[in-house]
Amino acid sequence: MTIKLMQGNEAIGMGAIAAGCRFFAGYPITPSTEVAEILSRELPKVGGKFIQMEDEIASMAAIIGGSIGGLKSMTATSGPGFSLMQENLGYAAMTEVPCVVVNVQRLGPSTGQPTTASQGDVMQTRWGTHGDHPIIVLSPTSVRQAFDLTVTAFNLSEKFRTPVILLTEETIGHMREAVDLPPFDTLQTVERRVTDSPQDYKPYSNTNGDAPPMASFGQGYRYHITGLFHDEFGFPTQRLDEIELWLERIHRKMDNHLDEIVLTEANPQPGARIGIVSYGASARSARHAVKLARQKGIHVSLLVLLTIWPFAEAQVEALGAQVDRLIVPEMNQGQIALEVERLVGRHKVTRISLANGEMITPQMILAAIEA
């Protein structure tokens, strides 16, 4: 292990290198710029490529092309840049191209306040693109976790042939913590493997597993890629039997593997009648609030969401069944709170919403616990 004082954005960049990322395309934007800066320095050292694009639309298109060409690819952005990426993010979902998109959230809408933190993009990560498709979104609560979940994002992206969003915020991106990174060669990474011959290969096979293996261009495999609904060979189709099979499969490849995708951290306490559901930087305050409450003899359970989407329905329902009240602190006007209310009922949920760029404090959460 190597202990180092490291910034969250730096940890994301190093996590990408460790996961095998070899192509980054992006446009500098506060508060995510350090991710690009780190990778512009580190990628050439491992034979990778860095390119600064003219905007975020082109950045998203470039990493799709890089991934199709065989390189694990990533971009990083924030706020309005993430909005610009939505159309091509939908294209990556339709064409099942693995890639990682980092969104270091800032206060908005529009240009908002670039140097302040927010958790206002939670619903955008799920519903920002048009159409109906699943997405994987991960959210770290610490600098070390920013490293770990970046590696996880690449692994899930490759395994399930899907774009994965790493959703963090200015607080995590710019804070510094002492972290002990493992040797990169000890990490488990998911690589592309195709056993079919080029003649037998169907890039969108509906019978070769939920996520058919992806062949990189330039390896003898030639196939068609389109944003239109397509058949198993990638050519456009209007046949309902082919469209419906594709729709069923892309949802099934997530639904059948929720135990691998949905990551949470539970800190239960026997006899607790109050529970907290939180994520990202807000979860740091929630952890301390729980500590303060327990020192006062108040029993509180905590559930931290590391995977935002797919939503941790089973875990939230289980906690909701054990307590009388669920507190949901988040730096927005109540986005994850909507999901919690959907599962356990509005009467059981207490929202702590702060959308002015400031952190929710442990004292705010403690006051809600004591109330």
Spell out the per-residue pLDDT of the chain, length 371, in tens.
Answer: 568 999 999 999 999 999 999 999 999 999 999 999 999 999 999 999 999 999 999 999 999 999 999 999 999 999 999 999 999 999 999 999 999 999 999 999 999 999 999 999 999 999 999 999 999 999 999 999 999 999 999 999 999 999 999 999 999 999 999 999 999 999 999 999 888 889 889 999 998 788 999 998 888 888 899 999 999 999 999 999 999 999 999 999 999 999 999 999 999 999 999 999 999 999 999 999 999 999 999 999 999 999 999 999 999 999 999 999 999 999 999 999 999 999 999 999 999 999 999 999 999 999 999 99
Rg (CA), the chain: 21
Paired sense of beta strands 307-309 and 136-138, if any? antiparallel
**Residue 161 backbone class (left: φ over 0; alpha: ψ -120 to 50; beta: rest):** left
Q: How far apart are CA 320 and CA 15, in angstroms?
A: 34
DSSP letter at 34?
H
Q: How far apart are CA 222 and CA 355, in angstroms?
A: 49
The pTM score is 0.96
Q: In the chain, what are the domains?
A: 2-186 (3.40.50.970), 264-370 (3.40.50.920)
Paired sense of beta strands 300-305 and 264-267, if any? antiparallel
Q: Are 24 and 14 in contact (CB under 8 A)?
A: no
> Tokens representing 54?
């003219």
Sheet bearing 163-169, strands edge to edge:
49-52, 21-26, 72-77, 99-105, 163-169, 136-138, 307-309
Backbone angles phi, psi at 71, to 5 degrees: -105, 135
Helix (H, G, I), strand (E, B) or coil at 43: helix
